[in-house]
Amino acid sequence: MDIQTISQKFCEYSASIRGYSPHTIRRYTTSVSFFSRNTGIAELSQVTDENVRAFFYGGRTERNWSVNTYIVYRKSLLVFFRWCVKQGYMERNPIIDIEIPKREKRIPPKLTKQDALKLLELVYHYPYEYSFLRYRNHAIFSTFIFAGLRKSELLGLKYADVDVDNLTIFIRQGKGNKDRIVPISHTLAQSLKRYIEQRKRLGKTNPEFFSSLRGNIGFTQNGLKKLVEQMREASRLPFTVHKLRHTFATLMLEGGCDIFSLSKMMGHSDIKTTTIYLAASAEHLRAQMTKHPLNDM
């Protein structure tokens, strides 16, 4: 049976029954297509342990995959072939015996406190053509830095999800299809309030919290990409949206936030994921050293 046809059936099942997000579905589709294209496999019956192993070995040696890229392809194909076995299309899953390289332990990249303040200052005072953009863009970057939202979570925010009076943001179906509530500071609330006033002034009624300048529609992924590129160039700070999320986590720890609370705010399924930020926070670690009982000798 044609592997692309089966892949389409798998994705339809994953979306309608498993409830996977469009982003996850795209990852499965891309991974299966890439595997088929690079191995020359068109039919599922052509898949063998040998050509699967050659695919992953070639990825590391010829395409210079990082460990993370390797793991993403392995995980995606593992789930796909597992479903194929369950449906009776294959006898066994050829990914099971594929080894996982040791993941590099790297400190998450982040902005310093001074650079984060510099970025927020620049976003607010940038020479925009329309005042609406000043307040919306400042609210966007403030939400990343003061609440640590993922890009998809920010773009998916609904107007009803943001409660500035009670200082909360409700995240609907974040990563892993989990809802969560993120508390917000008064500083972030002030930025959001200024944006809401501008939104009302322009008569924006779209359900998405962050609106595009033109049209009564939500801010788009492409629009956010262009905004980040614009501010990266203007500030000369090498940041990404995910780096701003890392910045939030690190600054929270340096401010004294406990790891359990931070894990809940970040929406991590496993607290071990949150502990990587402990290594990134030199100030937090330095503060812990002051607790040594012999320091007063």
The catalytic site residues sit at 150, 175, 242, 245, 268, 277
Sign of CA dihedral 238, 242, 246, 249: positive
- Alpha helices of 103-209 — where are they, by DSSP H? 113-125, 131-147, 151-155, 186-201
Give the pair of three-digit tokens for residue 186: 């008064």
CA distance 175 to 160: 20
* Residues 201/213, Cβ–Cβ less than 8 Å: no
Q: What is the DSSP secondary structure assignment for residue 43, as one 8-state letter?
A: B
**Which of these, 236, 232, 238, 249, lies nearest to 107 by C-alpha position?**
249
- In this structure, the chain runs to a length of 297
Query: Cβ–Cβ contacts within 10 Å for residue 15, how many?
Result: 15
Give the pair of three-digit tokens for residue 82: 């597992």
End-to-end CA distance of the chain: 75
Phi, psi dihedrals of residue 41, rounded to the nearest 5°: -90, 120
CA distance 154 to 174: 10
* Residues 194/137, Cβ–Cβ less than 8 Å: no
Give the pair of three-digit tokens for residue 263: 């894990």
